[in-house]
Amino acid sequence: MDPNNPYETWQAVIEKVKSYGTVNPAQVDAFLGRMQPQASSVGFLLATVDTDFIKGQIEKRFLSQIEQALRDLFETEYVVEIEVDPGSSAFMQQIATQNAQQAAPYTPPAQPAAPQAAGAQAGAAPIAPAHSEPAAPAAQPIQSQPQVAPQVQPAIAAQPSSPQPPAATSHLTGSQIARANGMDTGAAALTFENFIIGDSNRLAYSMAVSVAESPGKSTLNPLFIYGKSGLGKTHLLRAIQNYILETRPDMRVVYIDAQEFITEYSIAAIDHSKDKSSFQAFQSRYLDADALLIDDVQYFQGKSATVNIVFQLFNRLTDAGKQVVLSADRSPKSIDIDERYKSRFNSGGTYDIQPPEVETKLGIIKSFIEEYKRSEGSWDLYVPEDIQMYIAEISSSNVRELKSAVTKVISQMTAFGNPDITLSDVKSLLENHFSAGALKKITVEAVQHEVEQYYQVSHADLIGTKRSRNIAYARHVAIYLCRQMIDIPYNDIGKRFNRDHSTIMSSVEKIEKKTKESRELQEELEIIIKNIREN
């Protein structure tokens, strides 16, 4: 190996670091893959990264391993220099190009011009009270310069173009800043540093970091992250919020869950006829934001008035260079809202989080154990490796359930006086823990029922002889899920569908092939599987 060849040297370093038992290979790829070697010689290596955050994380997490790998490879001490060059990351350049090429063209819906006359009353037009979903303002959009109720901060438009961090917040800790912004300690603890990266979430993580470091960049505005419940979407949104609050205390970041937003809007709309300032205060809260983060936007389905208001806010903010981040449990195209809004969701960067692989779940378990040891001062706590691996293998993809399982085991070891807990003990302890896990008994009838409900076909058609396209497709999916979720022989599945062994095998192969090509089918399977496990 030539120590003067930076690329060759760096590839060898990455492979060497991965071989160390103290690191997670997926996280090595996630971080060291962002480094670009620039120069090397005996005893020296220079590499660049695209952001200060990535530089800090590599120095904190991997610098000692990089230096060790160089010593092991070349049998000499090395000086490793890491510099920031925003244009150095081929990975980020590729993503930016991909976003520009794939962004759907968007034409904003026609809106009446906002009143510009001095003294014109700001705020939406009167909203009729409603028993459920309030009616959308029909005549006027949200004004670009709303009047602000006394308790609401001044509009961003009124701030200086280059504000300085207020002296009152510049010395505060991250948790103090979080509390000042109405966050609880749990939300303040959700950071990029304690997010476990794996192949299933690496891209979404990288995009979230990019947005946090440079909010408002057009290539990632809006940023849309989707994946089923418990995979880390909220963690990433809160991490963006916490990072911006810590590094840019002059910026105003608003995080809200979609259901909470619907409630706020309903109350403000109903009160509008009595007190116009209530709606003005509602809209000002969001128009004043430098970054708006809305979680679980799938709950806007069927809420046409709320969706209309959201997109008025959305357009005002993005047009002004403010950042919008959205999350959902499904892709934009699978959310039942107007096509114009789906297009707008997709106009920035859209990234999914897949269920974590065993290695990522194991990393989450180890991280959670270390977090517990630090918080409780229980440095002598030891959870055997075979127990950690067992939890990772039998757990569902829901990270919350995974962490609660680890908590349950630790409680048995500490509070209930069983420090020498065995694998057999843990198997009994967690037998019924995972509501959506592999240990829950699933039947062929349950699979058939949920597939029938999802695709709107009858049971008689599903197991019958009809071969119309929609029925055959649903039948293939049901057979595939029986094989994947119950793992019974092809012959046994065939008996329940009135098919022979070869037909069952063919159905499974068809769906296996299609899942590799169709993200839409993957999402359908995720929803059906969730319904099977929860019902």
The yes-or-no verdict on residue 392 having pLDDT over 90 is no
**Binding residue positions for ATP:** 230, 232-234
CA–chain centroid gap for 474, Å, is 29
Which CB contacts under 8 angstroms, 24+ apart, belong to 429-436? 430/391, 430/394, 430/405, 433/401, 433/404, 433/405, 433/408, 434/394, 434/395, 434/396, 434/398, 434/401, 434/405, 435/396, 435/401, 435/533, 435/534, 436/396, 436/397, 436/398, 436/401, 436/530, 436/533, 436/534
Q: For 6-89, which CATH class?
A: alpha beta
Q: For 444-534, which CATH class?
A: mainly alpha
Q: What is the pLDDT of residues 220-254, one digit of tens each?
A: 888 999 988 778 899 999 999 999 999 888 999 99
pLDDT at residue number 87: 62
User: How many angstroms separate the CA atoms of 285 and 335, rounded?
Assistant: 26
User: How many angstroms separate the CA atoms of 329 and 228, rounded?
Assistant: 5
Domain spans of the chain? 6-89, 172-352, 358-429, 444-534
Q: What are phi and psi of 201, to 5 degrees?
A: -135, 5
Regarding predicted confidence, which is higher, 31 or 434? 31
Q: What is the pLDDT of residues 144-175, one digit of tens each?
A: 433 333 333 333 233 333 333 333 333 444 44
Is there a contact between 211 and 223 (Cβ–Cβ < 8 Å)?
Answer: yes
Full-model pTM: 0.60
Regarding predicted confidence, which is higher, 137 or 335? 335
pLDDT at residue number 435: 56
Tell me the fold of 172-352: Rossmann fold (3.40.50)
Q: What is the pLDDT of residues 320-369, one digit of tens each?
A: 999 999 999 888 888 878 787 777 777 778 888 888 888 888 888 888 88
Tokens of 285: 């809260």
Q: What is the pLDDT of residues 398-416, one digit of tens each?
A: 787 788 888 889 888 887 7
User: How many angstroms separate the CA atoms of 194 and 372, rounded?
Assistant: 13
